Chains A and B, each alone.
Chain A
Amino acid sequence: MSGPEAALLPREPAAGTPVFAEPWHAEVLAVAFALTRDGIFSAGEWADALGAEIARATAAGTPDTETGYYGAALKALESLVSAKLPTTGAALAERIEAWRCAYLNTPHGQPVTLAAAALPMAHHDHHHD
């Protein structure tokens, strides 16, 4: 066994490995489930969108990993929401920035709410490492 075959390993997760490596992995699938159940889009549309994003990621050379998979799932969800709910889709970019500001404005340990996004951003002009 060599090359891509190794991607199939390990066969089983080690005992105690969480089902979801990151909370957002679970959230992507949970939102997709809820929107499918409520008929915002169908299971077939979800599979097609996910398949298309996975194919795109593979073609772009994205590593064949769990992170790559969930990144494709997030893009599929965003594109389906934008197609089915254009107003929500159009508001996404601004809302992402609002949450970023809210996190940067909220002292660590305190609950982060969107209200904090409206505060002036004390540390927004720094350079990234």
Chain B
Amino acid sequence: MSEDHAGRMGAIHRELHSHLPPEPALRVKALESLLVEKGLLDPRTVDAWIEVYTEEIGPKRGAEVVARAWSDPAFKARLLEDAPSAIAELGFQGWASGHLNVVENTPAIHNLVVCTLCSCYPHALLGIPPNWYKTAAYRARAVRDPRGVIAEFGEVVPDEVEVRVWDSTAELRYLVMPARPPGTEGWDVARLAALVTRNAMIGTARDLAPRVGGR
């Protein structure tokens, strides 16, 4: 075999390898194709789910829920009493929205949500959890040292404020309702919703006061 020929074969070899999906992708594809053939999985469900969670949901729905609660005391009361029914009013049912509890931050209480087992999360309201939510570091330390974890996110919970940690499960998930920041009197729901961050609804952020220049 000439050197030239060996070079060409090497190029073909690399081309084949660049084309072959990574092993886990092949495994998912195998699983999906078998389930579809057996009529146990509709590929349109998979495509629709990916589109919705990639493009649409994010934490926007959760932010709207919080902003509405800030603006409408009757809605807020219903939300704290029976979150699944209240979010159904907004049409926000979806994956894991059936068993949801909304916990309210007050001047005396700060709430922090974790899933110590895996990554249970109110997907229908917040989308896909951030990577840090799924790490062993967060899952362990949120319970052991919640103030320390919150501090790492650049937030300070004053000593006199009680920190409550909620461990999510498949049967019961949590959304934190942060406090409405001062200086937002008269704001409409859309403007308020823009202040509400994903981290605030998990509890790793507390202060949502609008910054100079907006954010």
Contacts and interface: CB of A to CB of B under 8 A. Distances in A.
Partners in one complex: yes
Interface of A: 1, 4-5, 7-9, 11-13, 18-20, 22-24, 26-31, 33-38, 40, 42-44, 46-48, 50-51, 54, 58, 64-66, 69-71, 74, 77-78, 81, 85, 87-88, 91-92, 95-96, 98-100, 103-104, 106, 108, 114, 123, 126, 129
A69 B138 contact: no
A31 B32 contact: yes
Given A47-B169, A81-B31, A34 B42 contact: yes
Contacts of B31: 31, 77-78, 81, 88, 92, 95
Please tell me the size bucket of the interface on B: 35 or more
B108 interface: no
B35 interface: yes
Contacts of A77: 31
B19 interface: yes
Nearest to B168: A47
A31 B46 contact: yes
Contacts of A46: 170
Contacts of B119: 50, 69
A51 B117 contact: yes
B27 interface: yes
Interface in B76-130: 95-96, 115, 117-120, 127-128, 130
